[in-house]
Amino acid sequence: LEEMRRADCRRIVFSSTCATYGDPVTTPMDEEHPQLPVSPYGRTKLHIEHILGDFVDAYGFSAAVLRYFNAAGASRDGRCGERHDPETHLIPLVLEAAAGLREEILVFGDDWPTPDGTAVRDYIHVEDLADAHVAALAALLDGTRHLACNLGTGRGHSVQEVIDVARRVTGAPIPARIVERRAGDPAVLVCAPRRALDQLGWAARITDLDDIVGDAWNFLRAHTEGRSD
């Protein structure tokens, strides 16, 4: 930010996270939800949100803070997608099991207070995320000084739903094994996306879980060279 100030580059769109909220007090979570992060990831994102606010006040910056829920999917043409090493995101892990790149998928708890006992998350397609960034930059160029918006669909899907959809999309059995819950995982994380609609004119378009999983599957099938025995 100091380098931006010296270069007189004073508009920034920041990728933040719903992890700044910590454990849900209310569901779905809007931007007025208390920000009480429980992980180093959420805490560092929140620190930067605070610093951005200071730069807006002190140095005339314009800042758009976008709090992602669970980014997922791949570009609809199959050219761009996610590949992490190690992989930690649920959908690509499930699809790697479908492709035979891992033996099974681990489900961290089936005794959560949710309809099927597995944790619920709000999955937002990466192309919708890209559109939100363009809309946020347009708002800053149009004179908005400081905004913070959640980015999600407003719909939650459980881990078991993701596995069931992946089985349907891929035609693979996808072995799954229930293990202990992970410390710090909340039962439900679902977005209240109204502010993004009001302030950016943005709403998620690709909200069907079959489409999100299907795009990720198409990417994985097109880019598996050298990834298995």
Catalytic residues: 41
Give 89-155 as a DSSP string.
Answer: -HHHHHHHHHTTSSS-EEEE-S-SSSTTSS-EE-EEEHHHHHHHHHHHHHHHHTT--EEEEEES-S-
- Beta-carbon contacts of 81 under 8 Å, excluding residues fewer than 6 positions away, are 73, 74, 75, 126, 215, 216, 219, 220, 223
Structure token digits, residue 25: 């007090």
Q: How far apart are CA 187 and CA 177, in angstroms?
A: 18
Q: Count CB-CB contacts under 10 A for residue 58.
A: 9
